[in-house]
Amino acid sequence: MSGPETKPKVKYAQPPIQEAICEVHFAAASPLLPEQIEQIKPVWQSGYPNQQLVTEKTLEVHLGVDKVDTQSKNVGHKLIARSADGKNLVQLGPRFLAVNRLNPYPGWEESFRATIESRTREVVEKYGFERIERVGLRYINKIDFPEKLLRWADWFAVTLPVPGDLGQVGGSFQFHFEQELSPDFRGIINFLTLPQQAEAGASVILDIDVIWRGTEPGSKVGAILEAVHTPHHDLFESYLLDKCRQLFEIQP
C-alpha cells in the first residue's frame, strides 16, 4: 500500500492544530450492541476516566404540502471516553473507533500515531475484528492573524476564486473541495474565515481530511496510518507563504 508522495517535513514549535481526529472503521459482520461497547470501559479507565455511553441520532425532515415534519431517529450508541484534562478522547461505536487530540498537539511521531495504534489494538483484541475497511485522518487548523483586513496574497500561496481585486483584501469565504489523491485515497479540504471579533485580528480554518478505503487486516493499521498521514504536510504547506509560516515558529 502506498499513498501520495511527500516532501521533507517542516516542524513547528506552535502548530495551529486545534483538533486531530482519526477514525478507524472495521469490517464487522454485525454491529456492537451497547452492552458490548461498554465492555471496553475497564481497558480505558486509567487513561480516560470520564466515560459516557450516548445515543447517536439523526434528524429526518419530511416536506408536505402544508407542513414540515421532523423525526429524530436513533442510529446506535457510542462510548465517549475523555482523559482527566479533557485533551485526549477515544470513542467506540458499533463498527468504528475514533481517537481525538485537542490543542496543544504533541506531534505525530511523538505521540498521536502510537496512541491510535494502541487504541486500535485494544479494540481488535477485545472484539476480534479481523479487517479494517476505512481509515480517516483529519486535522482542523485555526490560523490567527494580527491584522483585521488581510491582504490574502501576503499570507497564502493560493488566491480566492473571485474576479479582479475583489477578494484581495478582507472579505469572508467558505470553500469545500474533494479530490482523489491516488487509488484508494481521497482528500477533503474545507477552508473558511471565522466571524470577525471586535478586538481581534482575522482567523481562518484550514480543515484537511485524508481518507483511505479498502480491506486490510487489523495488523496493517500502522502502514495505513502512515499512508493517510503522508499527504497532510504537503496539502497544508501548499496553502502557506513564509510570512504565514512564521506565525507558528519553525523549529531549527
Q: Are 78 and 114 in contact (CB under 8 A)?
A: no
**pLDDT value, residue 151:** 87
CA atoms within 13 A on the CB side of 246: 6
Q: What pLDDT band is residue 73 in, cutting at 50, 70 and 90? A: low
DSSP state of 129: -
For 42-46, 92-96, 163-167, 206-210, which range has the lowest pLDDT when averaged over its residues? Answer: 163-167
The model's pTM is 0.88
- Residue of 219, 46, 235, 20 whose CA lies nearest to 110: 20
How sure is the predictor about 79, in pLDDT bands with cuts at 50, 70 and 90? very high
Segment holding 149, helix H or strand E? none
Q: Where does the pLDDT of residue 7 fall: very low under 50, low under 70, confident under 90, or very high at 90 and above?
A: low
- Which whole number is the average pLDDT over 20-31? 95
The C-alpha cell at 172 is 469572508
Domain boundaries, the chain: 17-21+131-246
- pLDDT for position 58: 62
Sheet of 50-63, strands arranged across: 50-63, 68-82, 88-92, 96-102, 17-26, 131-144, 203-217, 185-193, 174-182
Cα separation, 158 vs 152, whole angstroms: 8
Q: If you search the block for the grid coordinates 469545500, which residue do you land on?
A: 176
Phi, psi for residue 227 in degrees, rounded to 5: -70, -40
Asked whether 138 and 209 are in contact (CB, 8 A), the reply is yes
CA distance 111 to 22: 13
CA nearest neighbour of 98 among 59, 54, 63, 142: 54
Give per-residue pLDDT as tens, 38-57.
999 999 999 999 999 999 76
pLDDT at res. 198 = 64
pLDDT at 5: 53
The pLDDT score that the predictor gives to residue 60 is 58
